[in-house]
Amino acid sequence: MTTATTPVRTAERPSAPAVRARAHRPSLRKRLELALLLGPALLLFAGFVLVPIGIAAFYSLFKWNGFGPLDDFIGFDNYVDAFSGDVFQGAIGHNLIIAGLSIVVQLPLSIGLAMLLNRKLRGRAVLRALVFAPYVLSEAITAVIWALMLQPNGFADQVLKGAGLGGLIHNWLADPGIVLYTLFAVITWKYIGFGIILLLAGLQGVPAELREAAALDGASAWQTTRHVVLPLLGPTIRIWIFLSVIGSLQLFDVVWIMTLGGPANASTTMATYLVDHGFKRYEFGFGSAVAVILFVICFVFALLYQRFALRRDTQGALTRMVH
């Protein structure tokens, strides 16, 4: 056992003589072990995550219907076409509206509900479980449920009439001016429970002593919330915003099942546009360009957000990456 000068590893795992000895001779055996342990995961990751992105970047430079030889090189024309098209511009706008509405509507709603539910209510455990239930249903099932409830003269309309709110009834999924907001409401139904659970977990981390101290110093309930609780929820809120925006940018299932992006492209998102052009119309080169654009938008948002908003919160690898 060579216990001589071996400075490596000690920081990580103090008192590891046996291992230290082996680290001293990075043997063939260790390399084989590493290959065995890391190889399969790397292969899988490279083969099905990295390669497709690379392929997309390549195909996006061609005009190609997905069949036949790839010989019609057109440079960045697909990108120019995408950005200059009204429908795609509209789609980006719709994604941004959904993302914006999430932050402006869902976030305060989640915070408010989480605070209200963070009391010693009877049946709180059951309540939390039920609130979370829509989140475990697939978006596909959610979309089907709401498509059926929102049928003209269907459940939603009858409930509104029964409540004396018949004047509010709209053609929820067929009116181009309404459809995007209808879809937003459906998404809110599905995801609000996730926000509430996340924030409830965050609220558990706010020490009761702090609130009591604030109250003793004469702070009102609102002041305590504003200046004590919300800042402490900061990390949770910032993570929520991140997930919510990324989710909004990739919105697909609910929209595709409920409206196919219609009527008249009033609810098209970047992802439905991508599938519509790539698969329905066999514009694979163009579709690849749209995929790359979608990817770059998400990627840039993620990097900027990590850099400027999340840096304080996480010591995780995502932050390390951008330093």
Partner 1 sequence: MRSRRFGLSVGYLAAIVVLGVTVVPLLFVVLGGFRTNAQINNDPAGLPGPWIPDNYASILGSSAFWTFLGNSALIAVIATAVAVGLGSMAGYALSRYQFKGRESLYTLFTLGLLFPLTVATLPLYLWLRQLGMLESFWGVAIPEAAFSLPVTIVILRPFMHAIPGEIEDAAVLDGASRLGFFWRILLPLSTPALTTVAVLAFVTSWNAYLLPLLVFNDSGHFTLPLGVATFRTQYSQDTARVLAFTALSMIPALAFFVLAERRIVGGLTGSVKG
Point out which span in 74-82, 92-100, 175-183, 196-204 binds partner 1 (CB under 8 A).
196-204
Binding mask 8-47 for partner 1 (x = CB under 8 A): xx--xxxxxxxx---x--x---x--xx-xxx-xxx-xx-x
State both tokens at 145: 């449920």
- Can you tell me which of 227, 299, 304, 308 binds partner 1, judged by CB under 8 A? 299
Is residue 271 at the binding interface for partner 1, with CB under 8 A as the rule?
yes
- Can you tell me which of 79, 181, 189, 282 binds partner 1, judged by CB under 8 A? 189
Residue of 202, 200, 196, 204 lying closest to 132 (CA atoms): 196
Is residue 261 at the binding interface for partner 1, with CB under 8 A as the rule?
no
Q: Tell which positions 88-147 bind partner 1, by CB under 8 A.
A: 112-113, 116-117, 119-121, 123, 127-134, 136-141, 143-147
Is residue 231 at the binding interface for partner 1, with CB under 8 A as the rule?
no
| 97 class by beta-carbon count within 10 Å (0-12 exposed, 13-18 middle, 19+ buried) | middle
Rounded to an integer, what distance in angstroms lies between the CA atom of residue 261 and that of residue 3? 68
Nearer to partner 1, 71 or 177 (CB): 71
The least CB distance from residue 35 to partner 1, in Å, is: 9
Residue of 98, 131, 245 lying closest to 199 (CA atoms): 131
State both tokens at 150: 């929102």
Contact yes or no for 191/106 (Cβ under 8 A):
yes
The least CB distance from residue 153 to partner 1, in Å, is: 7
The least CB distance from residue 47 to partner 1, in Å, is: 7
Rounded to an integer, what distance in angstroms lies between the CA atom of residue 82 and that of residue 125? 49
Q: Tell which positions 46-75 bind partner 1, by CB under 8 A.
A: 47-49, 51-53, 55-56, 59, 66
Is residue 234 at the binding interface for partner 1, with CB under 8 A as the rule?
no
DSSP character string of 192-216: HHHHHHHHHHHHHTS-HHHHHHHHH
Which residues share a beta bridge with 62?
Answer: 73
